[in-house]
Structure 1
């Protein structure tokens, strides 16, 4: 079998909105540059996601020249599109000196803060989602997540809990072979899709370090799945009981976790930042 390699790199510029494939990206200690930098929050600061607002799947952010982004030095215009809405253009900055209107953000059990991106953005997203909200850009070094698995804290931005999510492409293929309906890999919202491995081989990396390009990560745990993979990404709809829908229905038959729920893919923390390119080999370290 060929060596494991990066088949796909995917960034989610706005948490829980549509993702973007890129040929290369810089992996920092708190995740890929621009991945989940932006978060939609309700008036009380609680983050919004497809779990409660499945129409977020229809929101498609675009940031020019993604293939050429550097280490937190890019600034430009983010263009956001959604059905039956005018394009929204938002100034997108990556220097703390550019920040104004600080805003508290709560993501699960963690509190962080960021920059409110303004009234125009708030009104645009609020109109499309039929819910008052604000667009917030997370600030680097402003949110810590404590891992009970590692018993340590580390920096994150808009991710649920870990900076990087890795998924094996053969794992998706095997799941789809078992399931009654096809689920695209992008529904699982992984940052890195790995080829050249056996189905679920990424599970065996838990507790080990991996090197991709110039970056080194620790694989901490299996990724516990939420209902988002069941959202129809083309129409933005979530079933009343997603656990009776694919892919969760099939995952429950053979990937149920002892603590409840189901797993697919792995979560990682970053030990050494670096550039990662599509096609890079994956080296499994001790």
Structure 2
């Protein structure tokens, strides 16, 4: 059983596939951390957009602001920061598609749509998931609901896992390549992928399955340049069932608060 494990970093990503915000504490809600991936950018066909197809999204950084956040373009300082509130209003609505799900969404402002269209060089819209929307976790394979995250409410990564990977790479990569919500220190590399039930502070979480990684991990989040690493190095020793694994998909307790420095205790492992 693991000992001396500590919650070292907490991240929210207010807009799916844009930059994250490191926070010192976060409220846990039924579909993940509060404000995490509740906004989504969609194209002219109302299909979700990510860095997989539009690597330039990596250049859009997110900064905390009062009751919301700012989006900036790191390569285009002439674009003034765009303010977005944490929540939208139901004045304009539409259906959007994310993976195999079609869900009801609230529109952002015309100003936000125009700013993002200019920043990304193509027509797009900003939409919000309200609490009324029930998008099933992992297409219903796991109980619960999820935001605009790919499939699960939380992604957990151990710092030791990244350190071990970086020891193999020709050039180290930062944690932001993997977009975790929860990062812990202590323990052994990749041990989180075997965790079942574990406690952070007083809150109980459930590890479900290791996370299969995509090409987003090969995009430099500072420049939006694509490369071969870290997937090329990871593939020979981290591939399971045809996917390169890194981190653990996790479901949570539905309510509570997490704080940096919370102790972490593993209670069961996956069989």
Answer yes or no: same fold by TM over 0.5. yes
* 2:198 aligned with 1:216: no
Shift of 1:90: 3.4
Determine the C-alpha separation between the residues in 2 that align with 1:77 and 1:272: 22
User: Is contact 1:62–1:78 with CA below 8 Å preserved after alignment?
Assistant: yes
User: What does residue 174 of structure 1 align with?
Assistant: 164
Determine the C-alpha separation between the residues in 2 that align with 1:153 and 1:131: 37
* 2:141 aligned with 1:151: yes
* 2:264 aligned with 1:285: no
* 2:1 aligned with 1:10: no
User: Is contact 2:137–2:145 with CA below 8 Å preserved after alignment?
Assistant: no
User: What does residue 136 of structure 1 align with?
Assistant: 127
Determine the C-alpha separation between the residues in 2 that align with 1:146 and 1:234: 31
* 2:179 aligned with 1:186: no
1:1-286 alignment, distance < 5 Å: 3-64=4-65, 76-82=67-73, 83-84=75-76, 85-94=78-87, 98-147=89-138, 151-205=141-195, 208-239=196-227, 245-258=228-241, 260-286=242-268
Shift of 1:77: 4.3
Question: Could you list the runs of 5+ residues in structure 2 that have no partner in the other structure?
Answer: none
Question: Could you list the runs of 5+ residues in structure 1 that have no partner in the other structure?
Answer: 66-75, 240-244
Shift of 1:94: 3.6
What SS is found at the alignment partner of 1:155?
coil
TM-score of the superposed pair, with normalisation by structure 2: 0.91
Determine the C-alpha separation between the residues in 2 that align with 1:281 and 1:224: 27
Change (3 A) 1:285 1:2: closer
Determine the C-alpha separation between the residues in 1 that align with 2:101 and 2:240: 24
Shift of 1:2: 5.0
Determine the C-alpha separation between the residues in 1 that align with 2:94 and 2:143: 22
Shift of 1:18: 1.0
Shift of 1:99: 2.1
The RMSD of aligned alpha carbons is 1.9
Structure 1 runs of 4+ with >6 Å offset:
none
Determine the C-alpha separation between the residues in 1 that align with 2:236 and 2:5: 27
User: Is contact 1:203–1:222 with CA below 8 Å preserved after alignment?
Assistant: yes
Determine the C-alpha separation between the residues in 2 that align with 1:77 and 1:271: 25
What SS is found at the alignment partner of 1:202?
helix
Shift of 1:63: 2.7
